[in-house]
Structure 1
Amino acid sequence: MSTPTELSESAAPGSRAGSNKPVRPAKPGRVKRLSGRDKVVLGIMVGIPTLVQLAFVWIPTLLSILLSFTRWNGLALSDIRAAGLANYNYVFNDSPAFWPAVQHNILWLLFLAVIATPLGLLLAVLLDQQIRGSKIYQSIFFVPVMLSLALVGIIWQLFYQKDNGLLNFLLGTAGTPQAVDWFGDSNINIWAALVAATWRHAGYVMILYLAGLKGVDATLKEAASLDGANATQTFFRIVFPAMAPINIVIVVITIIESLRAFDVVWVINKGTNGLELISALVITYLIGEGQSIGIGSAFAVILLVISLVPITIYLSRTFRKEKF
């Protein structure tokens, strides 16, 4: 029979049962080299999205920048002529629609920031209270986000029609001389279009803020409640600052949405008669009457430069946080 000493020696680390030879420690695992099949799969997964980005984003962007310094009617390549800064000089000094379009884009931004975004935040706060049927309400408010802006414009056209529109019908003016031409009157059509854009933007903001509210630590709210803070104080002093990353994302999205607004005004009246926007001017000069690829490209480059400002600020803040 084995003695306790022998048993302890046989069970000691670094030894094998029935052998006095020490067990060598396992060698650290080596990084497995990719097989040929793995390389093909990775190449496809990385290569296809890269080619799509090059074909539909980067190459057209670079071509637009080059074409903005040329004169071209869009027909034969042999007709391309160098124009220097003439197109930009026309845009800033001679174009009758550029500065009104800038004003409308600023108005679009302010309306989304002051009306649509707070509305989306309010909906998110209300639906976060676990009210009965909150999932149904979320779905109802999110439906416009899933629709294209062109379809949103068509839906609101039916609502705003002068003779048979729902709004004039509710006002009791449908089919009468007192009927309001919501999209035809240049003094009010921009506001009508902004309401249509808000219908979609508020739902998008609601979903983002709902996700942010779910991520706020519940103990922060409990601590504020124990300190005597009411619901309003808790939200503005604890919850809202805790959602700083979501707030930054929504600010960037709101700015970009105001700059790329196009579909609604194009469906209404092709971005004319009080609905001029920079994005609509791009298409007007690229494919519309009086076609000028160079001037349209100049408008596109200006829009690109303006859009890069909030994107650059957002990315710089994001990478700075990851670095530290």
Structure 2
Amino acid sequence: MPLLRTPGGGPPDPRPKAPAARDAPGAARRTGARTRASARRRGPRRFTRRDLAVIGLLLGIPVLLDMVIVWGPTLASVLLSFTSWDGIGDISWVGLRNYENLFTAYPAFWPAARHNLLWLAFLGLVATPFGLLLAVLVDRGVRFSRFYQSTLYMPVVLSLAVVGFIAQLILSRDQGALNAVLGNTADPTDWLGDRDLNIWMILLAAAWRHTGYVMILYLAGLKAVDPSLKEAAAIDGASEAQTFFRIVFPTLRPVNVIVGVITVIEALRAFDIVYAVNKGRNGLELLSVLVTDNIVGEASRIGFGSAIAVVLLLFSLGFVVTFLVQEIRGESRR
């Protein structure tokens, strides 16, 4: 092999030049083989005490808080629903007597249950489709879309208690803005005092807040839809309505699940808006208000109030589980 002369004109280098580029893949394979062999010898990585402590803190604290704040009171309510207790004296076991009195001898229960179902139907069949419509219109790229998003989403940052106070300012009989706009100052309509009207007015106020929430969720889902699907449908001659209901809307199934669960929860946990208006009385009875009146009120019938809470829990679980099962079955058939 000829000797290689150095660039500076010095003595030739007797060492042969290594074919680095040619041997690089082989070296990489050998290095990978040694790494895998070393990993097999070491076995699975074991957690150190520090790792276990960090995992315990990150998982243990949330689980503990969930047990203490959510599941603990839930199980306590289920047990107390079979007892008679005023919060101070002895707890006495009464079995199913609280449920029997609730269904047969408590006149406020059935109107409250109907109002909760009406609340669910209104939010699910009116507010949710309207929120979807607003999301579709904003997604089409209309002018000032950012302004519309901010304006329509603004009620979501308000609590339902604040929405209730706003409803009082607008719907009040004597000094409300709605009667002033309609010119009913001589014979004003009692929007919040009339039992035939107040539930619908409060539903409109609750839907005003719920619509913005639904709009943002669907808008996020529409932004994730592949534009090529719409283009292919347009090339095939599909109209905008056909493209939406046959192409776009089926791809929003995950968003539909989230919106459905949120709608059920919002409808069945409604409390603060009616309590801010008239403490949930005179046509605005809800199951959550009855729970508060019996547990926190002057009666202090904790066992009876716990029975109402259990019924409300069963309502919520029934709707949510049924909805999720239907969605999962529909997803598995696809």
Q: Tell me if both proteins adopt one fold, taking TM over 0.5 as the criterion.
A: yes
1:165 equivalent in alignment to 2:176: yes
Distance 1:99 1:269 in 2: 19
Larger Rg: 2
Q: 1:74-223 residue pairs with structure 2 within 5 A?
A: 74-76=87-89, 79-174=90-185, 176=186, 178-223=187-232
Gaps in structure 2 of 5+ consecutive residues: 4-15
**1:91 positional shift:** 0.9
Gaps in structure 1 of 5+ consecutive residues: 17-21
Q: 1:201-280 residue pairs with structure 2 within 5 A?
A: 201-280=210-289
Aligned residues: 313
Distance 1:316 1:27 in 2: 47
> Any conservation in 2 of the 1:14–1:24 contact (CA below 8 Å)?
no
1:27 match: secondary structure: helix
Distance 2:311 2:23 in 1: 77
Q: CA RMSD in A?
A: 2.7
Distance 1:213 1:117 in 2: 15
Q: TM-score, normalised by structure 1?
A: 0.88
> Any conservation in 2 of the 1:70–1:83 contact (CA below 8 Å)?
yes
Distance 2:31 2:56 in 1: 43
Cα separation, partners in 2 of 1:96 and 1:24, compared to 1, 3 Å:
closer
1:27 equivalent in alignment to 2:39: no
1:92 match: secondary structure: helix
**1:281 positional shift:** 1.1
Cα separation, partners in 2 of 1:89 and 1:164, compared to 1, 3 Å:
same
Between 270-279 and 241-250, report the one with greater CA deviation. 241-250
1:302 equivalent in alignment to 2:311: yes
Q: 2:65 aligns with which of 52, 59, 63?
A: 52
Distance 1:256 1:23 in 2: 56
Question: Deviating runs (4+, > 3 A) in structure 1?
Answer: 5-16, 29-32, 313-322
Aligned AA (2:262): I
Which digits, 9 at most, give the CA deviation of each residue in 1:45-98, with x for residues without a partner?
11211121111111101110010000011223xx21111100000111111011
Cα separation, partners in 2 of 1:188 and 1:15, compared to 1, 3 Å:
closer
Cα separation, partners in 2 of 1:191 and 1:53, compared to 1, 3 Å:
same
Which digits, 9 at most, give the CA deviation of each residue in 1:221-270, with x for residues without a partner?
11111111221221122111221221222222222221111111111111
Which digits, 9 at most, give the CA deviation of each residue in 1:185-244, with x for residues without a partner?
111100011011001110011011101111111111111111112212211221112212
